[in-house]
């Protein structure tokens, strides 16, 4: 289900051309043809994250094209909905590559879709930059030289959380995670790291509700039954909202240490409204307390432009777009091999500071904000947080070499 | 396990049973009177949830209190009831006499339309409703906390049952509804205003669906997936309880609620399968559910291909078609070849369904089961045994045929709407297995890396392979349709009792047809898997089945070659329009409704009628 039609970006403002015009728009201009880049994401199914994400890359794109684009050419993004299933995403990607002739692909939200896209990129030998998919597989077991990722993966984010768990003294852990690639990967990493880093820790309950189909009451009471003193949560979106409501009602989170992936991100925190489970240790995005001038300037510009507060998706979309611009400029062309060379082990100067795209697994060193949830007025936010550099939490080179097939 | 835990779990089960019953009760009443299985019932439930989640918070801002909350819930249900009336007047009223297949498809068209409209009206975000005032605190049950709102829900089920019972037993409207459930024609001949009766029934049904949805808002956020997930469960409840039976629905809902609550402990990862297995078991033992009645023989009216003299010069036409197909790679670019490959695959898929519906009169609503089995069979063979494409395709076909053999054994014992529901259940069971048996099928992740062998990996070679296999299979199926076997199937379709009287073994013939159609769909599925490079559970989903039915209907169900044309038309349209609009489902839904209402003969049928009228 395509959410937006082919969009042609014409400096300085952009025009979304409608149905009839999309195929052969007569934009005969003296300048060179724009560089076409393919973008696909779950705009219909996961709008909470992806719409702010689209705002982010659109904002970056306008800035880039206002400055004349890259290599003397404008950038044109052809954006599609990926349908949020593996088959649909690769089909859409194929359309972007063979009909639209895009130079590289970026996007996708769900981890299973990310894995399928990585496989597709490898098969068709085209660069794919995974924006949101977090499963380790994208850069580890299923990784390949065509697939890159910007966000910190599960191994890195879980590692940050487990470090926080040491102090709590919790030993009996319960896991609740959506039963698909992302949840399975996060649960596996957690099991491994908690036993390595917290002596005597054990897993006493595991619940894997199907993504988007949680039976929250039954799940909460099954966890309660195991009497854990720590809970590791990987749920997000509607599943999370229902689980938190049931857990609050039943007092599941009282006197329990809770570690939760991504819950501090505004996209998942805002729907909880005033039922924010205070005290959870989370990874997230405390945009309202960020002081670094460059990052602050981005946040202010975003708020002014969209009249909305930024989500983590907004930041990510903006960063990915500027990194693509830098990579194409350094590559000096839009050839796949040149772009791969320009991405591997390259440093990028982003709004959150310099990050590196590690060449051995194509995983960037972008970090995450780790802190505690707190109620700020009518909605939740993060407090007591720090920004953890990604570099110190990445899997070691030996670990990467052991699982990667290339 | 300690008793407190069991008690809490049982109460959770009761509260889901209650919610399910309220919704399913509306579905079963509507079916009893109108004989329409209303797919859009789930959409009404979803509208109820969205309306309440939007309306109730606004009302609570005006005056906070339990009265406002419950008034808001009831108001939302009434709004949904009125939407039901609109659907009845605009659509259902026109299709009461149509074949079941058309009714199912038309209401599914409504489902598609509503999915897009809900996003347009309420926005794409999930909406979490407010908690019920006064019911925020939990209650202690045997030392465990339990949400007090769930207790209210548990009470709501029996209350609705009681009110519906009073309505049906003590009012004139109820008497008429019961009379119409027993014999619609007799009620009409006695001079009852049928239009008013049916509209009233739809209001009641939609009101109950809306109430079911509105009551959910304190526990579940209103989301766009609610319609299909509830309709699948509501179907199970009504079918298990017996279509049209309100007490049956209550009993079935109770069983399913408990099955889900305790199933999560025993099979934490297979909750979806359990429900549909129950339905399969019940239908195998009691073909009409707990309290259902057998449908009147001859009450169903099958539509299908008609016999006519073969077209003159058909060999020439066939040669031309094959030549054009073979020469296509010379003209087309890579992307066009990809689209053409998919069209051929869908054409084969739809054509295999034609053998069941058009020829055999077996209205299958779950043909995706065999398409998906073929795809998964091929993909699993590649993943687990590392076989090549040449071996994986036949394995997929074999798995689909085997699945069709199993499913067919149950299905051929049934007829009419129960048959359609059973095929739907079979497809849903397979969907659930593929979705939740993560270790083998990869679950939601699907299976990736299913690429063709190197000789067939380019767009042109793979297109030619698909074209060759499709043409050969279609010709084989055509031969089967024109053979005595095909005529026997047609005889059974038009009059089962007469076919039996002349010694035809109807069930065996249908079973055989099921296996042949399943195998052909499996081949299509295998080809599809290799063309995409991956499989995922959506291949087994309801929308895949509906795709095949739409192609059949679009091409023309009364013509042999209709499905091929329908597949080409639908897929080409989809490829052309989908990237341009976010309202694809709305357009598809409206076209399905339009086809059922004004264009029931389909493209090929209309062209042929026009041709014959001129000649």
The predicted pLDDT at position B266 comes to 72
Answer whether B543's CB lies under 8 Å from B390's CB: no
pLDDT in tens, B349-400: 999 999 999 898 888 989 999 999 999 999 999 999 989 999 999 999 999 9
Q: How far apart are CA B496 and CA B498, in angstroms?
A: 6
| Contacting B residues, span 444-503, partner chain A, CB-CB under 8 Å | 444-446, 448-449, 451, 459
What percent of chain A clears pLDDT 70, i.e. is strictly above it?
92
Pick from A57, A13, A10, A6: which is nearest to A323 by CA?
Answer: A57
Domains of chain B, earliest start first: 3-232 (no CATH), 335-560+567-614 (1.10.3470)
Tokens describing residue B473: 């299979």
User: Using alpha carbons only, what angle is made at residue A254 by residues A251 and A260, rounded to the nearest 5 degrees?
Assistant: 100
**Tell me: the pLDDT tens digits for A126-164?**
999 998 899 999 999 999 999 999 999 999 999 999 988
Q: How confident is the model at residue A47 (pLDDT cuts 50, 70, 90)?
A: confident
Q: What is the CATH number of the domain that holds A165?
A: 3.40.50.2300
CB-CB under 8 Å, A207 with B128: no
If asked whether residues A283 and A312 sit together in one domain, one would say no
d(CA B338, CA A257): 52
- Assess if residue A30 is contained within a domain: no
Q: Which of B85, B100, B300, B293 is nearest to B197 (CA)?
A: B85
* Residue A173 falls inside a structural domain: yes
Say what the pTM is. Answer: 0.86
Q: Is there a contact between A137 and A115 (Cβ–Cβ < 8 Å)? A: yes
Same domain (yes/no): A235, A374: yes
| Rounded percentage of chain B residues whose pLDDT exceeds 70 | 97
Look at the block and give the residue holding tokens 């979490």.
Answer: B128
Output the CA torsion B435→B439→B441→B443 (10° steps): 30
A9 pLDDT exceeds 80? no
Instruction: Flag whether A356 is in a domain.
Output: no
Do B221 and A119 count as a contact with CB atoms less than 8 A apart?
no
- Domain containing A171 equals 155-289+368-403
Cβ contact, residue pair A218, B260, below 8 Å:
yes
Sign of torsion, CA B228 A244 B51 B49? positive
Residue A84: inside a domain, yes or no? yes
A374 shares its domain with A333 = no
Structural domain count of chain A = 2
Are A336 and A377 part of one and the same domain?
no
B140: pLDDT strictly greater than 50: yes
Tens of pLDDT, residues A56-86: 999 999 999 999 999 999 999 999 988 888 8
Same domain, A164 and A261: yes
Contact A1 B138 (CB under 8 A): no
**Which chain B residues contact residue A44 at CB under 8 A?**
119, 124, 582
Specify the pairing of strand A202-207 against strand A230-233.
Answer: unpaired
pLDDT of A16 reads 37
Residues A170 and A224 in one domain: yes
Distance (Å, whole) CA A101 – CA A122: 17
- A358 in a domain, yes or no? no
Mark which residues 522-551 of B lie under 8 Å from A by CB. 532-536, 538-539
Contacts B445 to A, Cβ<8 Å: 86, 111-112, 115-116, 180-181
Question: Under an 8 A CB cutoff, do B533 and A90 touch?
Answer: yes
CB pairs A-B closer than 8 Å: 175
Q: In this structure, are A248 and A378 located in the same domain?
A: yes
Contact partners, residue A406, CB within 8 Å, separation at least 6: A143, A144, A145
Tokens of A182: 């992302």
Closest chain A CA to residue B216: A242
The token pair at A291 is 């002081």
**Residue A181 and residue A54 in one domain:** no
Contact B448 A249 (CB under 8 A): no
Structural domain includes residue A377: yes
Q: How far apart (Å, rounded) are the C-alpha atoms in residues B69 and B51?
A: 13
Q: Which of B206, B105, B182 is nearest to B420 (CA)?
A: B105
- Is residue A144 domain-resident? no
Q: Is A396 found in the same domain as A310?
A: no
B459 interaction partners in chain A (CB closer than 8 Å): 98
Are residues A278 and A319 located together in one domain of the fold? no
CA atoms within 13 A on the CB side of A51: 14
Contact status, residue B73 vs residue B153, Cβ threshold 8 Å: no
A211: which strand partners? none
Q: Is the preceding omega at residue A12 within 30 degrees of 0, hence cis?
A: yes
| Within-domain flag for A382 | yes
Q: Assign B41 to helix, strand or coil.
A: helix
Query: Across the interface, which of B16, B145, B219 has its CB nearest the CB of A250?
Result: B145
The mean of the pLDDT values for chain B is 88
Tokens of B602: 């389909």
Contacts of A43 in chain B (CB under 8 A): 124
Tell me the ipTM for this assembly. 0.80
Q: Name A96's Cβ contacts closer than 8 Å, sequence gap at least 6.
A: A38, A40, A78, A80, A102, A105
């Amino acid at each position: 289900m395509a959410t937006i039609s082919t969009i042609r970006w014409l400096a300085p403002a952009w025009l979304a051309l409608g149905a009839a015009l999309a195929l052969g728009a007569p934009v005969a201009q003296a300048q060179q043809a724009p560089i076409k880049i393919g973008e696909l994401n779950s705009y219909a199914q996961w709008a909470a994250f992806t719409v702010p994400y689209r705002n982010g890359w659109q904002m970056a794109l306008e800035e880039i094209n206002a400055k004349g684009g890259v290599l003397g050419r404008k950038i044109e993004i052809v954006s599609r909905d990926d349908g949020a299933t593996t088959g649909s995403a690769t089909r859409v990607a194929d359309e972007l590559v063979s009909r639209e002739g895009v130079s590289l692909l970026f996007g996708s939200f769900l981890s299973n879709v990310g894995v399928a896209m990585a496989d597709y990129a490898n098969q068709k030998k085209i660069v794919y930059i995974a924006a949101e998919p977090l499963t380790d597989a994208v850069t580890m077991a299923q990784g390949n030289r065509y697939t890159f990722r910007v966000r910190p993966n599960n191994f890195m984010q879980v590692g940050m959380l487990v470090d926080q768990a040491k102090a709590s003294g919790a030993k009996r852990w319960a896991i609740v995670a959506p039963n698909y690639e992302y949840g399975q990967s996060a649960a596996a990493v957690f099991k491994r790291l908690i036993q390595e880093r917290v002596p005597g820790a054990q897993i006493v309950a595991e619940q894997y509700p199907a993504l988007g189909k949680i039976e929250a009451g039954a799940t909460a009471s099954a966890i309660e039954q195991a009497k854990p003193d720590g809970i590791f949560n990987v749920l997000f979106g509607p599943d999370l909202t229902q689980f938190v409501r049931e857990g609050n009602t039943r007092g599941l989170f009282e006197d329990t240490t809770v570690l939760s992936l991504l819950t501090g991100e505004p996209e998942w925190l805002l729907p909880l409204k005033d039922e924010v489970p205070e005290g959870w240790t989370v990874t997230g995005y405390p945009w309202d307390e960020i002081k670094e001038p460059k990052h602050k300037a981005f946040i202010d510009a975003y708020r002014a432009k969209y009249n909305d507060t930024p989500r983590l998706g907004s930041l990510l979309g903006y960063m990915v777009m500027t990194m693509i611009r830098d990579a194409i400029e350094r590559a000096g062309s839009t050839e796949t091999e040149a772009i791969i060379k320009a991405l591997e082990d390259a440093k990028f100067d982003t709004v959150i500071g310099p990050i590196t795209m590690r060449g051995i697994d194509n995983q960037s060193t972008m970090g995450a904000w780790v802190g505690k949830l707190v109620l700020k007025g009518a909605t939740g936010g993060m407090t007591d947080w720090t920004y953890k550099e990604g570099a110190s939490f990445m899997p070691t080179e030996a670990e990467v070499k052991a699982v990667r097939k290339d | 396990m300690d008793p407190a835990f069991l008690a809490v779990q049982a109460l959770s089960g009761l509260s889901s049973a209650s919610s399910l019953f309220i919704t399913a009760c509306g579905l079963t009443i509507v079916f009893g009177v109108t004989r329409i299985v209303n797919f859009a019932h789930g959409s009404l439930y979803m509208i109820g949830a969205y309306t309440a989640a939007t309306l109730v918070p606004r009302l609570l801002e005006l005056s906070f209190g339990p009265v406002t909350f419950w008034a808001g819930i009831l108001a939302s249900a009434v709004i949904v009831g009125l939407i039901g009336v609109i659907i009845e007047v605009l659509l259902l009223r026109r299709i009461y006499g149509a074949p079941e297949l058309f009714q199912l498809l038309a209401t599914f068209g409504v489902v598609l339309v509503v999915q897009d409209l809900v996003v347009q009206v309420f926005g794409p975000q999930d909406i979490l409703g407010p908690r019920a005032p006064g019911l925020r605190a939990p209650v202690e049950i045997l030392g465990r906390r339990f949400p007090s709102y769930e207790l209210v829900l548990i009470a709501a089920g029996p209350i609705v049952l009681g009110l519906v019972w009073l309505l049906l037993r003590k009012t004139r409207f109820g008497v008429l509804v019961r009379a119409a459930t027993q014999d619609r024609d007799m009620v009409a001949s006695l001079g009852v205003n049928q239009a008013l009766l049916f509209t009233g029934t739809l209001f009641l049904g939609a009101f109950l669906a809306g109430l079911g949805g509105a009551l959910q808002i304190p526990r579940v956020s209103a989301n766009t997936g609610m319609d299909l997930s509830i309709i699948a469960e509501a179907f199970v409840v009504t079918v298990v309880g017996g279509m049209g039976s309100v007490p049956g629905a209550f009993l079935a809902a109770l069983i399913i609620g408990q099955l889900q609550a305790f199933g999560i402990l025993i099979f934490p990862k297979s909750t979806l399968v359990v429900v549909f297995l129950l339905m399969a078991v019940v239908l195998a033992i009691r073909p009409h559910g707990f309290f259902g009645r057998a449908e009147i023989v001859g009450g169903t009216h099958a539509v299908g291909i008609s016999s006519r003299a073969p077209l003159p010069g058909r060999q020439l036409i066939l040669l031309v078609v094959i030549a054009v197909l073979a020469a296509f790679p010379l003209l087309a670019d890579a992307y066009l070849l990809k689209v053409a490959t998919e069209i051929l695959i869908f054409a084969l898929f739809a054509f295999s369904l034609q053998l069941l519906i058009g020829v055999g009169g077996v209205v299958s609503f779950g043909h995706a089961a065999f398409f998906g089995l073929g795809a998964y069979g091929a993909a699993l063979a590649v993943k687990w045994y590392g076989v090549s494409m040449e071996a994986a395709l036949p394995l997929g076909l074999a798995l689909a045929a085997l699945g069709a053999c199993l499913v067919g054994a149950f299905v051929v014992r049934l007829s009419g709407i129960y048959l359609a529901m059973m095929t739907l259940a079979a497809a849903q069971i397979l969907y659930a297995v593929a979705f939740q048996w993560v270790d083998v099928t990869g679950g939601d992740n699907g299976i990736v890396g299913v690429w063709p062998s190197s000789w067939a990996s380019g767009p042109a070679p793979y297109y030619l392979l698909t074209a060759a296999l499709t043409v050969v299979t279609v010709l084989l199926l055509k031969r089967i349709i024109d053979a005595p076997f095909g005529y026997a199937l047609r005889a059974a379709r038009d009059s089962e009792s007469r076919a039996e009287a002349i010694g035809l073994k109807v069930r065996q013939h249908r079973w055989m047809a099921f296996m042949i159609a399943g195998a052909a769909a499996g081949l299509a599925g295998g080809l599809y898997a290799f063309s995409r490079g991956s499989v995922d559970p959506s291949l087994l989903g309801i929308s895949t089945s509906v795709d095949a039915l739409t192609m059949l209907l679009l091409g023309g169900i009364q013509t042999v070659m209709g499905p091929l044309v329908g597949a080409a038309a639908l897929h080409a349209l989809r490829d052309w329009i989908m990237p341009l609009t976010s309202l694809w489902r709305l357009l598809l839904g409206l076209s399905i409704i339009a086809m059922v209402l004004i264009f029931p003969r389909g493209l090929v049928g209309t062209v042929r009628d026009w041709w014959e009228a001129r000649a």
